[in-house]
Protein backbone atom coordinates (compact mmCIF):
# COMPACT_ATOMS: atom_id res chain seq x y z
CA UNK A 1 0.00 0.00 0.00
CA UNK A 2 1.23 3.51 -0.86
CA UNK A 3 2.23 5.56 2.18
CA UNK A 4 3.19 9.23 2.66
CA UNK A 5 5.47 10.84 5.20
CA UNK A 6 3.88 12.99 7.91
CA UNK A 7 5.50 16.37 7.37
CA UNK A 8 5.17 19.22 9.92
CA UNK A 9 2.65 21.04 7.68
CA UNK A 10 0.47 17.95 7.37
CA UNK A 11 0.69 17.35 11.12
CA UNK A 12 -0.53 20.91 11.69
CA UNK A 13 -3.53 20.35 9.43
CA UNK A 14 -4.41 17.11 11.21
CA UNK A 15 -4.00 18.72 14.63
CA UNK A 16 -6.22 21.66 13.62
CA UNK A 17 -8.98 19.41 12.27
CA UNK A 18 -12.07 18.32 14.17
CA UNK A 19 -10.89 14.75 14.58
CA UNK A 20 -11.24 13.23 18.01
CA UNK A 21 -8.33 13.37 20.38
CA UNK A 22 -7.78 9.61 20.27
CA UNK A 23 -7.65 9.54 16.46
CA UNK A 24 -5.27 12.51 16.34
CA UNK A 25 -2.92 10.85 18.82
CA UNK A 26 -3.07 7.57 16.89
CA UNK A 27 -2.29 9.25 13.56
CA UNK A 28 0.36 11.67 14.84
CA UNK A 29 2.16 8.92 16.76
CA UNK A 30 3.27 7.43 13.45
CA UNK A 31 5.76 8.76 10.93
CA UNK A 32 3.62 8.07 7.88
CA UNK A 33 0.02 7.84 6.68
CA UNK A 34 -1.58 5.58 4.10
CA UNK A 35 -2.92 6.81 0.77
CA UNK A 36 -6.48 5.75 1.68
CA UNK A 37 -6.41 7.57 5.03
CA UNK A 38 -5.07 10.70 3.39
CA UNK A 39 -7.88 10.72 0.81
CA UNK A 40 -10.49 10.11 3.50
CA UNK A 41 -9.05 12.98 5.54
CA UNK A 42 -9.33 15.31 2.53
CA UNK A 43 -12.91 14.25 1.73
CA UNK A 44 -14.04 14.72 5.32
CA UNK A 45 -12.41 18.09 6.19
CA UNK A 46 -11.18 19.67 2.91
CA UNK A 47 -8.09 21.22 4.57
CA UNK A 48 -6.80 22.43 1.17
CA UNK A 49 -8.38 23.67 -2.02
CA UNK A 50 -7.57 20.41 -3.86
CA UNK A 51 -6.25 16.95 -3.15
CA UNK A 52 -3.16 17.73 -5.20
CA UNK A 53 -2.25 20.60 -2.85
CA UNK A 54 -2.62 18.24 0.10
CA UNK A 55 -0.34 15.71 -1.55
CA UNK A 56 2.24 18.41 -2.16
CA UNK A 57 2.48 18.98 1.60
CA UNK A 58 3.89 15.48 2.07
CA UNK A 59 6.31 13.16 0.33
CA UNK A 60 5.91 9.65 -1.03
CA UNK A 61 7.67 6.92 0.91
CA UNK A 62 9.84 4.61 -1.20
CA UNK A 63 10.40 1.14 0.29
CA UNK A 64 13.98 0.29 1.12
CA UNK A 65 15.00 -2.71 -0.95
CA UNK A 66 17.99 -3.36 1.32
CA UNK A 67 15.73 -3.80 4.33
CA UNK A 68 15.61 -7.40 5.49
CA UNK A 69 12.27 -9.11 5.83
CA UNK A 70 13.35 -10.46 9.19
CA UNK A 71 13.42 -6.90 10.56
CA UNK A 72 9.70 -6.49 9.93
CA UNK A 73 7.28 -7.83 12.55
CA UNK A 74 5.47 -10.98 11.47
CA UNK A 75 1.72 -11.32 11.78
CA UNK A 76 0.11 -13.85 14.09
CA UNK A 77 -1.37 -15.79 11.17
CA UNK A 78 2.03 -16.03 9.49
CA UNK A 79 3.64 -17.39 12.67
CA UNK A 80 0.87 -19.98 13.10
CA UNK A 81 1.14 -21.17 9.48
CA UNK A 82 4.93 -21.49 9.73
CA UNK A 83 4.61 -23.47 12.96
CA UNK A 84 2.05 -25.78 11.31
CA UNK A 85 4.36 -26.37 8.34
CA UNK A 86 7.29 -27.08 10.66
CA UNK A 87 5.29 -29.67 12.61
CA UNK A 88 4.06 -31.26 9.38
CA UNK A 89 7.62 -31.58 8.10
CA UNK A 90 8.70 -33.24 11.35
CA UNK A 91 5.82 -35.70 11.05
CA UNK A 92 6.83 -36.51 7.45
CA UNK A 93 10.43 -37.12 8.51
CA UNK A 94 9.25 -39.43 11.29
CA UNK A 95 7.04 -41.39 8.88
CA UNK A 96 9.97 -41.76 6.45
CA UNK A 97 12.09 -43.16 9.26
CA UNK A 98 9.41 -45.56 10.49
CA UNK A 99 8.24 -46.66 7.02
CA UNK A 100 11.25 -46.35 4.70
CA UNK A 101 10.71 -46.72 0.98
CA UNK A 102 11.96 -50.00 -0.58
CA UNK A 103 15.43 -49.82 -2.07
CA UNK A 104 14.50 -51.80 -5.15
CA UNK A 105 11.24 -51.86 -7.06
CA UNK A 106 9.81 -54.65 -9.17
CA UNK A 107 8.74 -54.46 -12.79
CA UNK A 108 5.03 -54.15 -12.04
CA UNK A 109 5.31 -52.05 -8.90
CA UNK A 110 3.36 -48.84 -9.09
CA UNK A 111 2.96 -46.54 -6.09
CA UNK A 112 -0.18 -44.98 -7.58
CA UNK A 113 -1.91 -48.36 -7.98
CA UNK A 114 -5.01 -48.90 -5.84
CA UNK A 115 -5.04 -51.37 -2.96
CA UNK A 116 -5.89 -54.95 -3.98
CA UNK A 117 -8.95 -56.29 -2.20
CA UNK A 118 -9.31 -59.99 -1.23
CA UNK A 119 -11.93 -60.45 -3.96
CA UNK A 120 -9.57 -59.04 -6.61
CA UNK A 121 -6.70 -61.24 -5.35
CA UNK A 122 -8.92 -64.34 -5.43
CA UNK A 123 -10.10 -63.56 -8.96
CA UNK A 124 -6.53 -63.02 -10.17
CA UNK A 125 -5.41 -66.30 -8.55
CA UNK A 126 -8.23 -68.21 -10.28
CA UNK A 127 -7.26 -66.69 -13.63
CA UNK A 128 -3.63 -67.71 -13.16
CA UNK A 129 -4.59 -71.29 -12.18
CA UNK A 130 -6.92 -71.54 -15.18
CA UNK A 131 -4.17 -70.29 -17.50
CA UNK A 132 -1.65 -72.81 -16.13
CA UNK A 133 -4.14 -75.68 -16.55
CA UNK A 134 -4.88 -74.59 -20.14
CA UNK A 135 -1.16 -74.46 -20.95
CA UNK A 136 -0.59 -77.95 -19.50
CA UNK A 137 -3.56 -79.31 -21.48
CA UNK A 138 -2.17 -77.77 -24.69
CA UNK A 139 1.29 -79.25 -24.07
CA UNK A 140 -0.11 -82.69 -23.24
CA UNK A 141 -2.37 -82.63 -26.31
CA UNK A 142 0.51 -81.77 -28.63
CA UNK A 143 2.76 -84.42 -27.07
CA UNK A 144 0.05 -87.08 -27.43
CA UNK A 145 -0.65 -86.03 -31.03
CA UNK A 146 3.07 -86.29 -31.94
CA UNK A 147 3.34 -89.65 -30.16
CA UNK A 148 0.33 -91.04 -32.03
CA UNK A 149 1.31 -89.55 -35.42
CA UNK A 150 4.91 -90.82 -35.33
CA UNK A 151 3.67 -94.37 -34.66
CA UNK A 152 0.86 -94.47 -37.20
CA UNK A 153 2.53 -92.59 -40.07
CA UNK A 154 6.30 -92.84 -39.67
CA UNK A 155 6.64 -96.04 -37.62
CA UNK A 156 9.62 -94.52 -35.78
CA UNK A 157 11.38 -96.18 -32.86
CA UNK A 158 10.26 -95.21 -29.38
CA UNK A 159 13.46 -93.25 -28.65
CA UNK A 160 12.88 -90.92 -31.63
CA UNK A 161 9.22 -90.61 -30.79
CA UNK A 162 10.04 -89.54 -27.21
CA UNK A 163 12.55 -86.93 -28.44
CA UNK A 164 10.04 -85.51 -30.93
CA UNK A 165 7.33 -85.38 -28.25
CA UNK A 166 9.62 -83.53 -25.84
CA UNK A 167 10.77 -81.11 -28.55
CA UNK A 168 7.27 -80.13 -29.67
CA UNK A 169 5.97 -80.07 -26.09
CA UNK A 170 8.72 -77.62 -25.06
CA UNK A 171 8.09 -75.58 -28.21
CA UNK A 172 4.38 -75.26 -27.40
CA UNK A 173 5.16 -74.49 -23.74
CA UNK A 174 7.54 -71.64 -24.67
CA UNK A 175 5.04 -70.24 -27.18
CA UNK A 176 2.21 -70.32 -24.63
CA UNK A 177 4.35 -68.60 -21.96
CA UNK A 178 5.46 -65.88 -24.40
CA UNK A 179 1.89 -65.21 -25.47
CA UNK A 180 0.71 -65.09 -21.84
CA UNK A 181 3.50 -62.66 -20.80
CA UNK A 182 2.66 -60.45 -23.77
CA UNK A 183 -0.98 -60.47 -22.66
CA UNK A 184 0.02 -59.41 -19.12
CA UNK A 185 2.21 -56.60 -20.48
CA UNK A 186 -0.64 -55.28 -22.61
CA UNK A 187 -2.98 -55.33 -19.61
CA UNK A 188 -0.43 -53.42 -17.49
CA UNK A 189 0.08 -50.83 -20.24
CA UNK A 190 -3.69 -50.41 -20.56
CA UNK A 191 -3.98 -49.87 -16.80
CA UNK A 192 -1.23 -47.24 -16.83
CA UNK A 193 -2.93 -45.48 -19.75
CA UNK A 194 -6.27 -45.45 -17.94
CA UNK A 195 -4.66 -44.07 -14.75
CA UNK A 196 -2.93 -41.30 -16.69
CA UNK A 197 -6.18 -40.15 -18.33
CA UNK A 198 -7.82 -37.07 -16.86
CA UNK A 199 -11.56 -37.03 -16.55
CA UNK A 200 -13.11 -34.02 -18.25
CA UNK A 201 -16.64 -33.15 -17.22
CA UNK A 202 -18.78 -31.00 -19.47
CA UNK A 203 -22.28 -29.72 -18.92
CA UNK A 204 -24.30 -30.58 -22.01
CA UNK A 205 -27.69 -29.35 -20.88
CA UNK A 206 -29.22 -28.01 -17.70
CA UNK A 207 -32.77 -28.73 -16.64
CA UNK A 208 -34.53 -26.40 -14.24
CA UNK A 209 -36.99 -28.22 -11.99
CA UNK A 210 -39.93 -26.61 -10.29
CA UNK A 211 -41.90 -23.50 -11.14
CA UNK A 212 -39.99 -20.58 -12.53
CA UNK A 213 -42.00 -17.95 -10.76
CA UNK A 214 -42.61 -18.08 -7.04
CA UNK A 215 -46.08 -17.28 -5.75
CA UNK A 216 -45.96 -14.69 -2.98
Residue 166 pLDDT > 60: yes
Alpha helix stretches (DSSP H) within 74-157: 76-98, 118-149
What is the structure's pLDDT at 109? 46
Say which residues have a Cβ less than 8 Å from residue 24's Cβ, sequence separation at least 6.
14, 15, 17
**Cα 78–Cα 84–Cα 88 angle in degrees, nearest 5:** 145
Model confidence at 111, in pLDDT bands (50, 70, 90)? very low
pTM: 0.38
46: left (phi over 0), alpha (psi -120 to 50) or beta: left
What is the structure's pLDDT at 209? 59
Euclidean distance between CA atoms 7 and 32, whole angstroms: 9
Euclidean distance between CA atoms 6 and 103, whole angstroms: 65
Amino acid sequence: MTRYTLTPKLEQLIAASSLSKEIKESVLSKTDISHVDLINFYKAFKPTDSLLELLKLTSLQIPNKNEKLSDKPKSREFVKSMEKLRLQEKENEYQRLVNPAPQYSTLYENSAAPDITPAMASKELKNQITTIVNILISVASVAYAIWYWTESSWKLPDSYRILLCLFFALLVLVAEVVVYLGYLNKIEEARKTERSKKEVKKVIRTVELGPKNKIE
